[in-house]
Chains A and B, each alone.
Chain A
Amino acid sequence: MRTRRSLVALAALLMAACAPAPRAPLTSLDALGRDEVVLVGKVELVPPLRKGEQKIRGMVVGKIENTMHLMMDEKLRPMPEDPRIADFAGRIEAPIGETFFVRGKAAPSYLLGGLLFLDIGGSSQQRAIFPGGFQVGAKPGDRAIYIGTLRYQRDEFWEVQRVTVVDEYGKASAEYEAKFGKAQPLRKALMARVKQ
């Protein structure tokens, strides 16, 4: 059992070290490539994350605290129940309750679902999985799109009761302009649910 435990710990370290990078947050539109777009959106939890609901112990790699990992892919597929390292590629690390500004391809993509670490760093890893199945409707020529607020209503057992895309364009647009100026307009393109 000791050998097994060591291997598990090693595997966890390797996973942390090998986890692909998330989408980079953007600070300037000048940093965008020709075929890239800035995605503007937000994730909300209702009720919000309470103190003590997320337990992070020791050193962890990446943003974990109060962060929803939104799994993205160019092709629509079901959100994996047990995501592998490759599934984290191109994820959006969305600070819950705050507007995110991340880089993406100026082409349609899909939000497969979300993952929130509830307990990490100890002898066990606990996480909650959130449903997705939304298309992000970026298109060639876009420089900035607003995809909406993804609102997850959940109960005390982390069962997701309802998922809605809320239009908070006015507020997000004001944040966008404060950050990037008015040179490139923010196009509203709310995430759309697609049949799987």
Chain B
Amino acid sequence: MQNRVGIAVLAAVVAIAAGCSSSGPSREINDPTNSLVFGYVDMGDAPTKVNGAQLMQVAPPSDKPYWGMGVKDGMFYNSYLPPGSYRLSSLHGSSFLRGEHQYNFPRQGGGDTTVRIDKPGIYFLGAYKYKTVKSGMFEQSKFGIERVSTPTEAELLQRLLETDAELKNSVWGDKIRQRLARLKK
């Protein structure tokens, strides 16, 4: 469990993130102050797949601290983030048999699933694998995530270009290609 970055509460919810499902203030995709933050989680061992993710802006203070993220096959991303500090707040998923689930990450602690954006750019939160953590009958369910080496940052960026036409056709297209070129050096 060396690479586990956190244990958090897994809660079944009726409504996803009621009251905190704001996607944050609206911004233009080509805003030069935007940053792209992305990551990946393998939910193979989880009760559900992931179909939603949220970042929480912890600095500067905001009345709307939650930023929704796009999710594709375990990859989550947001390309509209202004400078600030963010933490991965929760993942959401649902399945026919197991219903809606919200996977909350601890609010205390920096580490891999947090990011400080000082200047606009591309920030990779990492790739992770969901791990079940045993808990007592009267305890809230828990889970952990472990850092994994694949998919790599380059593989995920390539996937972004191939699957999100809006992103590809925005200023992000060139920025991602430049980043890919640097990663391949």
* Chain A, 43-82, CB within 8 A of any chain B CB: 50-52
Nearest CB of chain B from residue A173's CB, rounded to whole Å = 34
Interface residues of A (CB under 8 A from B): 1-2, 4-5, 7-8, 10-11, 14, 50-52, 118-119, 123-129, 155-159
Contact surface of B with A, Cβ cutoff 8 Å: 9, 11-13, 47, 58-59, 61, 63, 65, 85, 87, 98-99, 102, 104, 106-110, 114, 137-141
The answer to whether A158 and B59 touch across the interface, beta carbons within 8 angstroms, is no
Residues of A with C-beta under 8 A to B104: 123-124, 126
How many residue pairs link A and B with beta carbons under 8 A? The number is 65
Closest to A128 in B: B108
Q: Give the interface SS of chain B, mostly helix, strand, loop or mixed.
A: loop
Complex interface: chain B residues within 8 A of A129 (CB): 108
Q: Considering the chains assembled together, what is the distance between the CA atoms of A158 and B56 in angstroms?
A: 13
Asked whether B85 lies within 8 Å of A125 as measured between CB atoms, the reply is no
B61 A11 Cβ-Cβ under 8 A: no
A5-B47 Cα distance, complex, nearest whole Å: 15
CB < 8 Å neighbour of B58 from A8, A11, A127, A156: A156
Alpha-carbon distance A97/B99, docked complex (angstroms): 44
Q: Which of A2, A7, A155, A156 has the most CB of B within 10 A?
A: A156
B109 touches A159 (CB 8 A): yes
State whether A52 touches B63 (Cβ < 8 A): yes
